[in-house]
Amino acid sequence: MDYQYIIDQLPYSEPFLFVDEVLSVSEDNISGTYTFKKDLTFYEGHFKDNPVTPGVILTECMAQIGLVCFGIYLLKDETSSEKINLALSSTEIDFYCPVFPGEKVKVVSVKEYFRFNKLKCKVKMMNAKDEIIAKGTISGMIVNRYLK
């Protein structure tokens, strides 16, 4: 499968797309990257004169790569002409290091289970030094129709 196809199927666009590339994907895991561009608007107020990427945005990046991209791949043989959507159902993430403007992160997700349209994964985010930025569990429900 062409990795760009997975990204093209995502139900997100700029400025809320937090996936640059998928590095690898299999039935058991996925990895991908994203670079937090220096001009992203949330840096203007988080924090004054010392911008740091908000934890909710880091979680979103982890979910987009580690859950949504993964779900698109896992359903590759079952998809119709409609795009796949995932509804996030739960997250439990611990944060260890900040992410600053301009930093590139790598997300690695390992499937815990995928059944009854629910995908649960162990996900971690690392920086360029391979230090763990955040890790935890993310779950979501796959919906094979457009959300209205």
- What is the DSSP secondary structure assignment for residue 43, as one 8-state letter? G
Position of tokens 């670079």? 35
- Decide if pLDDT at 94 tops 70: yes
Average pLDDT for the chain: 91
Q: Which of 45-49, 91-95, 96-100, 135-139 has the lowest mean pLDDT?
A: 45-49
Catalytic residues: 46
Q: Note the pLDDT tens digit of each residue in 112-136.
A: 999 988 999 999 999 999 999 999 9
Which tops the pLDDT comparison, 74 or 148?
74
Of the candidates 9, 28, 139, the one whose C-alpha atom is nearest the C-alpha of residue 82 is 9
pLDDT reported for residue 76:
83
**Structural domains of the chain, ranges and CATH numbers in brackets:** 3-143 (3.10.129.10)
pTM above 0.85, yes or no: yes
- CA atoms of 148 and 79, how far apart (whole Å): 19
pLDDT of residue 92: 97
Report the pLDDT value the prediction gives residue 88, as an integer from 0 to 100: 83
- Nearest alpha-carbon partner for 37 in 106, 101, 82: 101
Measure CA 101 to chain center. 18
With bands split at pLDDT 50, 70 and 90, how would you rate the model's confidence at 145? Answer: low
* Burial degree of 114 (CB within 10 A; 0-12, 13-18, 19+): middle
